[in-house]
Amino acid sequence: MSDAEFVDIGDLDFDQWNDYALDQEWGDGLPLMVPSEEKVAAMMEASRGDNEPFPQMPPRRVLPTLQSIAANAVMAGCRPELFSAVVAAVRAVLVPEYNLHGTLATTHPCGPGLIVSGPIRHEIGINCGGNCFGQGNRTNAAIGRALQLTLLNVGGGKPGEMDRSTQGSPAKYSFCFGENEEESPWEPYHVRRGFNVEDSIVTTSASEPPHNINDHASTTGEGILTTVAGTISEPGTNNIYGKGPYMIVFGPEHAQTIHRDGFSIADVQQKLYQQSAVPVSRVSKEQQHHYESERDQTPVNGRYYLSPSPEDIHILVAGGAGKHSAFIPTFGATAVCSVKISNG
């Protein structure tokens, strides 16, 4: 490594370092850990077996390195044992179908939502249960933040420059959670995506923050799915605009009731696909014209569908006690991408 790869911060204390880093536009507004040479080296050591090169990272089209990703992971507060998940997350957003350039440059508020599945959840302390979308867990927060800082500092996705989001969203800070496989009545999500049950996987899509679905009254799977379909049937969602995948994250209690009443994953996908379609009457004439002339989206039987097919509705279980689930819309023009986490 050359001297040009390092910045001498001299005797700056923690506050002075953060003032300096924010002046350089290296941060997200929250305090940053100092990426010392020793800490970056320790982070890289944790992933020393991962030698696959990275493709260029839009929009700057710079080639990421393990060192540059490690520096951002240190600043985000990652421990070395989290680094393999961070690297897998970077690889996932660099899959061409994810559309990283489009999802960074859009005025839409999406950020990379990360789902961690498999045994590594317990090894590194991912929160899959209560408050899994929220605060209080260093692992969830640091992994998601490390990816965002990498997109900022390596990719060049700076707010107001390449990141043109009208309002932004909390998903642009950190959005990472684990699948609650232990309380799911269905096969684990990553296994349904073709991986082995013993594999550890990071899955990502360009996502909005979760939209809560509250149903404390329904006692049947049919009733819960009717509530879910009604909640996600939004005329203004980007899933109509961009016609892409989205996620339904069932809380364990909702999932158990739905499964008890005989609904398979395919049954849930088909029911939501049909019942959530938005009637033309709920879409303005101007929007209808825009969809048809600019987006090549035409209604089918008088309705706009939120996804290209039932299979583009991704179903999994996360969270703890309580009769809540979540709708996670996406940018639309994106794909759900999964990458196996290297053992190092």
Convert the pLDDT of each residue in 93-118 to its tens digit.
999 999 999 999 999 999 999 999 99
For 11, residues 6+ apart whose C-beta sits below 8 A from its C-beta are none
Question: What tens digit of pLDDT does each residue of 117-146 get?
Answer: 999 999 999 999 999 999 999 999 999 999
What is the rounded end-to-end Cα distance, in angstroms, of the chain?
21
Residues 6+ apart with CB under 8 A from 23: none
Q: State how far Cα 146 lies from the chain centre.
A: 13
pLDDT at site 1: 36
User: 328: how many CB neighbours lie within 10 A of its CB?
Assistant: 23
Confidence check: pLDDT of 343 > 80: no
Q: Is the pLDDT score of 78 beyond 60?
A: yes
* Res 40: pLDDT: 96
Q: What sign does the dihedral 39-41-42-43 (CA atoms) show?
A: positive
Report whether pLDDT(49) > 80. Answer: no
CA 21 to chain centre: 26
For residue 5, what pLDDT is reported? 62
**Residue 194 CB coordination number (10 Å):** 9
DSSP string, 245-283: -EEEEE-HHHHHHHHHTT--HHHHHHHHHHHTPEEGGGS
Give the predicted TM-score (pTM) of the model.
0.95
The confidence score (pLDDT) of residue 83 equals 98
State pLDDT tens for residues 17-29. 999 999 999 999 9
DSSP helix/strand/coil, 66: helix
d(CA 222, CA 231): 14
Cα–Cα distance between 157 and 288 in angstroms, integer? 32
